[in-house]
Amino acid sequence: MPPVFVYAEVTPEGPRPVALELLTKARSLGDPVAAVALGPGATAAAETLGAYGASTVFANDDPVFSETLGHAAALSLAGLVEEHRPGLVLFSTSHDARDVAGRLQALTGSTLMSNATDLSATDRAQMPIFGGAVTVEVALEGPDPKIVLVRPTSFAAEPSGGTATVEPVPVPQGSPWPRRVERHEEAATGPRLEEARVVVSGGRGLQEASNFALLEELAGLLKGAVGASRAVVDAGWVPYSYQIGQTGRTVKPEVYIAVGISGATQHVVGMKGAKRIVAINKDPDAPIFRLADLGVVGDALTVVPQVIAEIRSRRG
């Protein structure tokens, strides 16, 4: 089997969950499996990356990798590809990973497929199209390495019990870089969307940004997380990190509650893996009802407060 690289996104708090998912899959596609971890937290992440299947972790903690929007990372990765000739490099579909993958493609001249949900070989990948109504199997041709971007939560992460050797990566020479010059962050509250057992998600049917407070309250009672459709993210009601769907997050909670969301195909691909789906929408023909286990035709602003009251009264 050809060597496989996983571009493992890391933070000072540890590797991103998707890195471990990709390593788990990579074990069945190639040998050896190496992770490429670049930016602050890279070396510290090596132990976990090894435990999920990387026998080598190419690492460098230099902030140039996290501050230049994939420019430095793509150049380093191209150097590693040249030296080790993997058959496949796996990425997630995150914005940061897309920056690296797009540039790597220009440097290697190889094929790139995005939005994959599975692979059966280093040159065979599957991708849902038309909002998941159809899945196509795609043969990847041309020079190695194939570059495939996989949607997060496509695979369950399972440890291999392995350990990795850490190989240093030089900082590349290059310019002009873009530079991150400011960072504005608010502390996160509640569970991460991908890990929450309940996701309460709102769309344009909530009428106003301030009505998201209702969803925050409901999610809080259920120790869940709040999500949103792209329409309300674009409208600036909630941050992009809330967005669920094709160009946002993919969630697979026990229960997904869609409030005032029409159920466009691009939204549905991000949530149809939920165990149970509840939809509240005032339009009986809303497409979301076609996949809901329980659909309620009604006004969100009436139904949600009733649900909150019912939970409170059952808990006494």
- Kindly list the residues in this chain that would bind ligand FAD in the complex (CB under 6 A): 203-205, 229-232, 243-248, 260-262, 264, 266-267, 270, 280-283, 286, 299-301
Query: Which of 168, 197, 208, 209: binder of other proteins (CB under 8 A)?
Result: 197
Chosen from other proteins, ligand FAD, none, partner binding at 189 (C-beta under 5 to 8 Å by type): none
- Between 22 and 57, name the residue whose CB sits nearer to other proteins: 22
Task: Report DSSP state, residue 241.
Answer: G
- Quote the crossing angle between the two packed helices 42-51 and 17-26, to the nearest 10°: 40
Residue 1 touches other proteins, criterion: CB under 8 A: no
Instruction: Provide, rounded to whole angstroms, the least separation between the CB of residue 56 and other proteins.
Output: 26
- Between 142 and 168, name the residue whose CB sits nearer to other proteins: 142
Residue 149 touches other proteins, criterion: CB under 8 A: yes
List the x/- string, 18-57, binding to other proteins by CB under 8 A: ----------------------------------------
Q: For 197, list phi and psi in degrees, rounded to 5.
A: -85, -20
CA-to-CA distance for 263 and 265, rounded, in angstroms?
6
Sign of CA dihedral 12, 43, 69, 3: negative
Residue 171 touches other proteins, criterion: CB under 8 A: no
CA R_g for the chain: 21
> Is 268 within 8 Å of 131 (Cβ atoms)?
yes
Instruction: Provide, rounded to whole angstroms, the least separation between the CB of residue 235 and ligand FAD.
Output: 9
Q: How far is CA 115 from the centre of its chain?
A: 10
CA-to-CA distance for 70 and 310, rounded, in angstroms?
49
- Between 43 and 266, name the residue whose CB sits nearer to ligand FAD: 266
